[in-house]
Amino acid sequence: MEYLLYSIIFSVSAILVAFFLEWFDRKVYARIQHRVGPKITGPHGVLQPIADFIKLLTKEDCLVKGSDTLLLDMGPVLSVAFVLFSLFFIPFGYSEGLLSIPGDLIIIIVLSSFVAVMILLTGYAQKSAYANVGAARWAELFISFEIPFVISLASITVASRSITISEIISWQAHNLPLIVIAPIALVTFIFSSLAKLEKTPFDIPEAETEIAAGWMVELSGRKLAFFRLTKDLEYLLLSALGAVIFLGGPIGPSLPGLELIFGIIWMAIKTIIFALVFSILRGLVARYRIDQAIHLFWHKVIPLTFFQLIIIVMLGLFGFI
Amino acid sequence: MSFYLPIGPIHPALKEPLNFIFKVEGELVIDAEPNIGFAHRGIEKLMENKTWMQNAFLAEHICGICSADHQGCYTQGAEIIYEKKPPERGLFIRTLVWELERIHSHLLWIGVAMHEAGFDTFFMYAWRDREVVLDLFEALCGRRVVYSMSTIGGVRRDLPSQFAEKIKKFVPYIKKRMKVYEDLALRDQTILARFQNVGILKKSDAIDLGAVGPTARGSGVKRDVRYEESYGAYEGSPYRIVVEDAGDSLAKLLVRIKEIVVSADILEYLVDNMPSGPINLNLPPMAKPPVNEAFSRVEAPRGELVYYLKSDGNLKPYRVKVRTPTLANITSVVAMVKGMYIADIPVVYASIDPCIGCMDRVLIIDTKKRKQKIMTKEELIHFSNKWFKKHLNELKEERA
Amino acid sequence: MQGLLEIVLSFSVVLILSLLLYFLGNRKKRETENPFASGEKIPAMRIQYLAPWLFYVILFGVIDVAFLLIALTAGQFTPIILVYMIIVSLVFIILKLK
């Protein structure tokens, strides 16, 4: 019973934190461009994403005749559920998440690829040329970024000899943070996360000036609201995952007796650092074309990840880590 | 498997209504078909119902961005009709507005092109620099967008006080910024990826398709009315033609960036050598011109702008015909976009700096039947005769 | 370390929460004749290309990646991975049969 209460509180607060991160992203992006960003709703516009979400929920649900309604209802609900569920494995505070089972890093990877499949099916279920092109682009991008994403996590698991997040954290507490050992994996992780989040150099599937809104062109009302929430939650998930596996998550200097509070503070700082990196990077570049993005991933990022893997294995063989 | 992908008239890539139907195979564009005429406003016909003086203000409403060029080109033609030569100072101020407008238009274009390529930060930066130009316009003309400066026989307002100092301050600023832009355009990997070797217009194609302005100059064609005619106050100004040979979108971007520097030089020259004297001839507004015709050319920011004016000795023009640069360039888009990816369409389309508001003056659209057709001369005469017969009584009543 | 109960419980919590939010939204449906086609009248269509094949590709990626991780983590074989592999193979078989 207690656990049920915890999980409900955790889910709701995760959604609220995701909205806060969206506000943060918009504010940083606006400051890069010499704009003000959201300003009116709440102090400094912090409630703007929530207002947007509620507004979209109240809009009516508009669909083209003959599109696949089951898929279009399933897609938004399941993708929010998957991302929210994978956030349960991320430790925000204690060195263990709300859920912690052996091999939970793999569960996060799998759930995130399920979300990708949901997006693909949503694009495919709509009867629109733009949505279909967007879905095809998303699929092409997915097979490009998923492999470097996983291999950069694999080099982490090899270095820490574990596929469990809590063990990776405890390994980092006893040794070095993994950013020192695997800096190239950090770079590839950031690249593939940007693609996963559809942020600017890789916002190809929903490129507004090319194919209107890509795979979400026909979505409206609550469906659109849910996919935007999915993207916010993914933003939180990937920032937190980066903070956990590269910076050690909640570990850091603290006072005795106040470990939880200090853990939350450290985790928040590290998550914000990753979120800041994503936001700044998206403000500094133009959008790649799909063929250029695929070329970038297959010819530059994937070799880099393998290079990192080899370095880690060599270090392990010679007993440095 | 190929399918048809419509882009426009309502699409985030196009800021103005125009429709392209692209035949697409996967992500490759096989063929393109432009359909124009969504912004037709009948201005040429309206011009026949207004006096020569009034038309100067109608002409500038053809386009919101190159309004001074439309007005200047019209007044330049009307001065030929009236057989009057405006005073030197008037010509200098007119040219000053033209060059400021070129800077503002090119900055606007850089922003739009970057937005099409997904680089929103550069877009914001370019438009921020454009604000400086708009502030100068506000000081000069009292308005930021549609200036109403030229009139037949000169300009309507003199330079405000301290304006030369403002220009002197502005010129080094914009030159510095253009150096930053050029560096960014040549160094940023994502910009190079999106602009280099995209939408190539070969030199021969540019000549065959009649491309004008930066579109032609980006393909290595030395074509510029400022150089060919040296109208206005361009004679003696430090003008040079900027030409890039590559013909791709990056070349067009570089041409525009370098042209801003040239325009800044011209601004400095104009302010330094500004002659004193009257600014216009103070023609009476109801002056009737002689029977005459005129052909006036101006280099608008987008390319060569042509006005043909004909007078039958009345207070109102007999015929006004406008040929805008976008109409000359729109055919080049089809040549440029073939063999490109869908993702390149916005960049290639934007690279000619299209201005649909200028262009659409030919097509007739029946909104009830949703059909569009181009009327021939005979059809038009027939249609107008029918219309007049139908509405003759109403017109008579109105006159009575 | 938690058991299966907590996993099921927490997944049902997030599922119910998202369903609740989804049904809180405006349920009024409106069907339009034509999809967004930039203001042109282009009939609704679905392009039958690549999607089934890409689904296979994604499954391949998922399986491939799981194998890679298992192979690289020094033999720490956990039952979760086994369950995952079985589910993925089942999905594969169902797709093949379909």
pLDDT exceeds cutoff 60 at B359: yes
Give how far A102 is from chain C: nearest CA, Å: 6
Radius of gyration of chain B (CA): 22
Q: How confident is the model at residue B152 (pLDDT cuts 50, 70, 90)?
A: confident
Element (H, E) at B71: helix B67-82
Q: How confident is the model at residue B366 (pLDDT cuts 50, 70, 90)?
A: very low
For chain C, domain boundaries: 51-98
Give how far C30 is from chain B: nearest CA, Å: 21
Cα distance between residue B332 and residue B323, in whole Å: 16
Higher pLDDT, B369 or A85: A85
For chain B, the domain total comes to: 1
Tokens (6 digits) for A162: 């574990």
pLDDT in tens, A294-314: 888 888 888 888 888 888 878
For chain A, the domain total comes to: 1
Q: pLDDT exceeding 90 applies to what percent of chain B?
A: 2
Q: Which chains reach chain A with 3 or more Cβ–Cβ distances below 8 angstroms?
A: B, C
Cα distance between residue A110 and residue A242, in whole Å: 17
Cα distance between residue B225 and residue B231, in whole Å: 8
DSSP 3-state assignment of A115? helix
Cα distance between residue C43 and residue C40, in whole Å: 9
Q: How confident is the model at residue A116 (pLDDT cuts 50, 70, 90)?
A: confident
Residues 6+ positions from B280 with CB-CB distance below 8 Å: B86, B87, B90, B151, B153, B154, B155, B156
DSSP B367: T
pLDDT in tens, B205-227: 888 888 888 888 888 888 888 88
Global pTM reads: 0.80
The mean of the pLDDT values for chain B is 82
pLDDT exceeds cutoff 50 at B365: no
Residue A230 lies in a domain: yes
pLDDT in tens, B109-148: 888 888 888 888 888 888 988 888 888 888 888 888 888 8
Give how far B353 is from chain C: nearest CA, Å: 20
- Residues in chain C with CB shorter than 8 Å from the CB of B26 are 49
CA-closest candidate to residue A194, choices A292, A283, A79: A283
Q: Looking at chain C from residue 56 to 95, which residues have their Cβ under 8 Å from any Cβ of chain B?
A: none
> What residue type is assigned to position A17 of the chain?
V
Q: pLDDT exceeding 90 applies to what percent of chain A?
A: 16
Side-chain half-sphere CA neighbours of C59 within 13 A: 18
Q: Which chains reach chain C with 3 or more Cβ–Cβ distances below 8 angstroms?
A: A, B
Side-chain half-sphere CA neighbours of C13 within 13 A: 24
State the pLDDT at residue B227: 80
Question: What's the ipTM?
Answer: 0.79
CA-closest candidate to residue A75, choices A131, A132, A114, A22: A114
The DSSP code sequence of B200-233 is ---HHHHHHTT--HHHHHTTT----HHHHH--TT
A170 near C CB under 8 A: no
Q: How confident is the model at residue B190 (pLDDT cuts 50, 70, 90)?
A: confident
CB contact under 8 A, B9 and C37: no
Give how far A219 is from chain B: nearest CA, Å: 16
Cβ proximity of A304 and A184 under 8 Å: yes
Please tell me which residue of chain C has the smallest CA distance to B11. Answer: C38
Radius of gyration of chain C (CA): 21
DSSP B341: B
C8 near B CB under 8 A: no
Backbone dihedral angles phi then psi of residue B35, each to the nearest 5 degrees: -120, 120
Residue B70's domain comprises 51-315
Q: How confident is the model at residue B346 (pLDDT cuts 50, 70, 90)?
A: confident
State the pLDDT at residue A161: 79
Residue A301 lies in a domain: yes
pLDDT exceeds cutoff 70 at B164: yes
Residue B364 lies in a domain: no
Task: Supply the CATH number for residue B257's domain.
Answer: 1.10.645.10
Query: Which of C38, C45, C49 is opposite residue B8, by nearest beta carbon?
Result: C38
State the pLDDT at residue B281: 85
Whether residue B86 is preceded by a cis peptide bond, meaning omega within 30 degrees of 0, is: no
Higher pLDDT, C79 or A167: A167
CA distances from B396 to A205, B231, B316 (A): 61, 46, 21
Residue B61 lies in a domain: yes
- Cross-strand bridge partners of residue A136: none
User: Which of A77-86, B242-251, C24-33, C58-67 has the least mean pLDDT?
Assistant: C58-67
- Residues in chain B with CB shorter than 8 Å from the CB of A33 are 120-121, 124-125
Cα distance between residue A143 and residue A140, in whole Å: 6
DSSP 3-state assignment of B127? helix
User: What percent of chain C is helix, strand and coil (3-state, nearest 5)?
Assistant: 65, 5, 35
CA distances from C54 to A117, A230, A302 (A): 10, 22, 20
- Residues in chain C with CB shorter than 8 Å from the CB of A161 are 73-74, 76
State the pLDDT at residue A16: 92
State the pLDDT at residue B363: 45
The mean of the pLDDT values for chain A is 85
Tokens (6 digits) for B266: 């011209």
Backbone dihedral angles phi then psi of residue B32, each to the nearest 5 degrees: -140, 150
C1 near A CB under 8 A: yes
pLDDT exceeds cutoff 50 at B367: no
State the pLDDT at residue B21: 80
CB contact under 8 A, B3 and C45: yes
pLDDT in tens, B2-33: 777 777 677 776 677 777 888 887 678 888 88
pLDDT in tens, A91-112: 887 777 778 877 788 778 878 8
> Residue range B97-114: average pLDDT?
89
Cα distance between residue B344 and residue B336, in whole Å: 10
